[in-house]
Amino acid sequence: MPHSQTIQLVLITGMSGSGKSVALTALEDIGFYCVDNLPPELLEAFVALENSHQATKVAIAMDVRSAASLPGLPQRLALLQKHPNRRVNLTTVFLDATTDTLVRRFSETRRMHPLSLKTADDQNRALTDAIEHERELLAELRDKALVLDTSLIRPAQLRSQIKDLLGATQAPLTLVFESFAFKRGIPMDADFVFDVRMLPNPHYEPALKPMSGRDAPVAAYLAAQPEVVQMRDQVMAFLRHWMPHMLRDHRSYVTVAIGCTGGQHRSVYLVEQLALAFGKEWSTRVRHREIDGWPQRPPAEAPGASSL
């Protein structure tokens, strides 16, 4: 059989109510052929069909609506990538959110959770129980996926993240730097979390309070603080030491979350500084969870960095 084109296959999975339909729409916007709720048993046949049609960008959503077939899905995905006559570049994206967030979303939409149907003992499963059962069923898929926490972001921001992460040619490993506020919770998708609340806080400087860590006066204030410089250098040293190990472990994305009290000054500044430094060597992305209107361009000094 002649060599076929490489198929960029994106599997969208995750918790019900976490935004999978939004993610599929975003991928459709950037040229992916998208299929929702494909039964796992049809995965290989579907990829073979798209391969015969010379498709190069395909996205599939699978979740607990096919609960009976989920246990065998990781093995199916592994075999698909080893197929001798097809070249498949697979990316699995797992959308997650806190249980409280998912309960609120189901309550607002008045939709039934897929696992809220009657159980074997003919009792209705409570919504929170259904969500926790869903987490158990999807645990193995989550462990092998790029995880995106949608608890505190708007649909437009999720679309932007999906397009930015999957619209370009994939680098061997991408560093995602994210600032956040501890008062709103730690991002569920973080691989590493650094707490910088002990650093000097521009919030208490009246002239700096309304600004963010992107603004030059705030950056100058923080750059002049020895503790801030020390924290930046220590985080950089940690990541530089472990990045080669993560690359050898075949990681595609590593999310580094930097948190302060309000997610406006210290964490934002350090995320920008880290992206600037690592963007010269690695593919990087910048995400500021608490700041609206994320920039659409990377800093001019960091050609390897871009923003979500």
3-class secondary structure per residue, 35-101: EECCCHHHHHHHHHHHHHCCCCEEEEECCHHHHHHHHHHHHHHHHHHCCCCCEEEEEEEEEECCHHH
What type of residue sits at position 30? Answer: I
pLDDT of residue 122: 40
Distance CA 212, CA 191 (A): 25
**Domains present along the chain, CATH in parentheses:** 6-166 (3.40.50.300), 174-307 (no CATH)
230/113: higher pLDDT: 230
What's the average model confidence in pLDDT over 186-204?
A: 95
66/221: higher pLDDT: 221
What's the average model confidence in pLDDT over 182-198?
A: 94
pLDDT of residue 280: 87
What angle (nearest 5°) sits at the alpha carbon of residue 250, between those of residues 82 and 169?
80
Q: Tokens 């129980």 appear where?
A: 129
Other CB atoms within 10 Å distance of the CB of residue 39: 12
252/61: higher pLDDT: 61
User: Beta strand pairing status for 192-195 and 253-260?
Assistant: parallel
Whether pLDDT at 117 is above 80: no
Distance CA 10, CA 25 (A): 13
Distance CA 46, CA 33 (A): 12
Indicate the pLDDT class of residue 16, thresholds 50, 70 and 90: very high
pLDDT of residue 77: 87
pLDDT of residue 158: 92
pLDDT one-digit tens code per residue, 261-303: 999 999 999 999 999 999 988 889 899 999 864 433 333 333 3
pTM of the entire predicted model: 0.71
Q: Are 305 and 271 in contact (CB under 8 A)?
A: no
pLDDT one-digit tens code per residue, 72-110: 888 888 888 777 667 888 899 999 999 999 999 998 888
Instruction: Find the radius of gyration of the CA atoms of the chain.
Output: 21
